[in-house]
Amino acid sequence: MTWLFSVLLAADVSGASIVEAAREPLRYETLSEPADTSRANGEDALAQYRRAPRKDEGLLLAVRALLNTGEMDDAWDLVEDHPAPSTTHAFFKAKLEAINANLAISGSLGKLKWAKRLRSHCANQVSNVPDDEDALECLAKFHARAPSIAGGDKAVSQTSLAALERLNAPRAKLVAAELVFREDPDAARALVDDAMGFGDVYDPGLLQAAMVYGYFKDWDEAQAVLARIPEGSELSGMRHYQMGKLAAEHGEKLSEGEQALLTFLTSQTRHLGVDFRGPAHWRLGQIFVHKERYGLANQAFKAALRYNPKLKQAKKDLKKLRALRDKQG
């Protein structure tokens, strides 16, 4: 099964600069990456949770800490053992993130099990809290993408999307844009344009909008959208990664993309249990290839594979780079 998805979290937005002005440009040759503190942070979060195990907010922080250290099974066990599970939004998000993380790493048979858990969890939340936007988005995406064997139902997707639109019109438009993007990019662009006309747009939606604008190479729009994600947001680092990703994919705005990825690598590189450090180095390698800086590209691709040996595309790009350099002598 190839239908993988996750439900990102909403946050308040305000104006901010996408890549803060620096006195001197960052350089890959002198890049200093911070030590990974996720395990120490995780131990702190777990200790705090155990001191007050009935607090759903503490559960959420503890689950995220476990996901950030790759302990997916432990994160799920923590949710399952949580005393008196409730319908609070914190508990819903904790369980949602644990399910999505396990879904992402499961094989074909495992995906079916976790997908059914995802459907049930989001449906139960909507039954108990009909105005939970995260749960409605979860159902809209699940039923649009999941096969019938996992319980996918296009009608439920449309019903959930309509309910979300009544609560949050721009968010519903951005979810719809994500769902139709592969089949009809122009329709997705129109939906994004409509959504961006609203003043209050949730941060994950802004990342999605930037992706669409990047597809059409509308760089001013992409940068303006990413600039709406504030530094204090959970996604403040991902806005830098997204800009670099767009530059690498399209071979444009290369210097800006390079600086964005270098900025990303000097801060937190984990997001909802996924470490984007390897992909960031890979994208930098692609930018260096575009710039014909093949020595740095070679270093970046190797670094990507050190951080993530399973990054197949980085292996392919490294192989292509070696063939190119051999051809040039």
Give pLDDT tens digits for 201-237.
888 889 899 999 999 989 889 989 998 888 878 788 8
Q: Mind listing the pLDDT tens digit for each residue in 101-147?
A: 899 888 888 899 999 999 999 999 999 999 999 999 999 999 999 99
User: What pLDDT, on the 0 to 100 scale, is given for residue 69?
Assistant: 79
More confident residue, 233 or 163: 163
pLDDT band at 67 (very low <50, low <70, confident <90, very high): confident
The torsion angles phi and psi of 146, rounded to 5 degrees, stand at -75, 145
Q: Taking residues 77-81, what's their average pLDDT? A: 91
The predicted pLDDT at position 10 comes to 30
Instruction: Determine the pLDDT at residue 272.
Output: 67
- The predicted structure's pLDDT at residue 35: 76
More confident: 282 or 325? 282
pLDDT of residue 329: 63
The SS3 of residue 271 is strand
Q: Is the pLDDT of residue 5 over 90?
A: no
Q: Are strands 270-271 and 274-275 parallel, antiparallel or unpaired?
A: antiparallel
Q: For residue 76, what pLDDT band results from cuts at 50, 70 and 90?
A: very high
Picking from 77-81, 162-166, 231-235, 298-302, which range would have the lowest pLDDT averaged per residue? 231-235
Look at residue 130 in the predicted model and tell me its pLDDT: 96
Closest CA to 27 of 260, 237, 259, 265: 259
Query: Nearest-CA neighbor of 222 among 212, 237, 235, 233?
Result: 212
Higher pLDDT, 176 or 22: 176
Q: Which residues of 93-108 are buried (b: 16+ CB within 10 A; e: fewer)?
A: bbbbbbbbbbbbebee
Residue position matching structure tokens 């014909």: 292
Indicate if the pLDDT at residue 291 is higher than 90: yes
Mean of the pLDDT values across residues 144-165?
95
Ranges 7-16, 111-120, 183-192: which has the least confidence: 7-16
Above pLDDT 90, what percent of the chain? 56
Contacts of 90 (CB under 8 A, 6+ apart): 56, 57, 59, 60
Q: What is the mean pLDDT of residues 259-283?
A: 88
* pLDDT of 19 over the 80 cut: no
Q: Is 21 a residue whose pLDDT tops 50?
A: no
Say how far residue 301 (Cα) sits from the centre of its chain.
Answer: 21
Strand partners, 275: 270
Specify the higher pLDDT residue, 11 or 115.
115
pLDDT band at 44 (very low <50, low <70, confident <90, very high): confident
Q: What is the per-residue pLDDT for 23? A: 58
Query: Residue 259: what are its φ and ψ, rounded to 5°?
Result: -65, -35
* pLDDT for the residue numbered 37: 66
- pLDDT of 36 above 80: no
Among 2-6, 32-36, 309-313, 315-319, name the one with the lowest average pLDDT. 2-6
Q: Is the confidence at residue 16, as pLDDT, over 60?
A: no
pLDDT at 289 over 80: yes
Residue 312, pLDDT > 80, answer yes
